[in-house]
Amino acid sequence: MFKRILVAYDNGDKAKKAVEEAIEIAKDGNGEICLLSSVKMPGFITTVTTPDMIKDLQEDTRKYFTEVLKGYEEKIINEGIKASFVILDESPGKGIVRYAEKENFDLIIMGSANRGTVERIFLGLGSVSNYVLQHAKCPVLVVKG
């Protein structure tokens, strides 16, 4: 049914559950999994730091996610499933939607929002999962706690 599965990964507990769910779905349908992360910093961070600090933070984040996603890629391959990963330099919601459409994924799996109402109001942080649900052209599975 779902052959090409994109998993949005942000290192939260719900994202880890999303990977496990993707493995089960891919096993059932002889599918393949691509893990996606973004190193784009939220707008409020860019207003309180220097460009050099942002660049360093993005480089450190990229290195971190490369190691984490390589580990998951290996785990998925050991399950007999084709796997890959990509790290984007764009806002997570828009990046997930754009990449899923460009690469013709059949399903996006992601964790539910990790932020509370206060954070969304005062920090201006929207829900990535909500954005993806509203804009993706393929089905989206949101994994909750």
> In terms of DSSP H, where are the helices of the chain?
13-29, 43-46, 51-78, 92-102, 117-123, 128-135
CATH code for residues 4-143? 3.40.50.620
Quick check: helix, strand or coil at residue 51?
A: helix
User: Which tokens hold the place of 32?
Assistant: 């393949």
For residue 134, the tally of other CB atoms under 10 A from its CB is 11
Contact assessment for residue 87 and residue 59, using Cβ atoms and an 8 Å cutoff? no
Give 10-residue mean pLDDT values along the chain (145 residues): 94 92 93 94 65 84 96 97 96 95 98 58 62 96 88
Q: What is the pLDDT of residue 117?
A: 47
- Candidates 86, 102, 82; CA nearest to 9 is 86
For residue 21, the tally of other CB atoms under 10 A from its CB is 17
Q: What is the pLDDT of residue 11?
A: 87
Say which amino acid occupies 44: F
Contact assessment for residue 107 and residue 52, using Cβ atoms and an 8 Å cutoff? no
Q: Phi/psi at 23 (nearest 5 deg)?
A: -60, -45
User: Which tokens hold the place of 16?
Assistant: 């880890």
Per domain, the residue ranges of the chain are: 4-143
Q: What is the pLDDT of residue 49?
A: 74
Q: What is the pLDDT of residue 139?
A: 98
- Candidates 75, 79, 93; CA nearest to 26 is 79
Q: What is the pLDDT of residue 119?
A: 44
Q: What is the pLDDT of residue 124?
A: 45
Edge-first strand listing for the sheet containing 140-143: 82-88, 32-38, 4-8, 107-111, 140-143
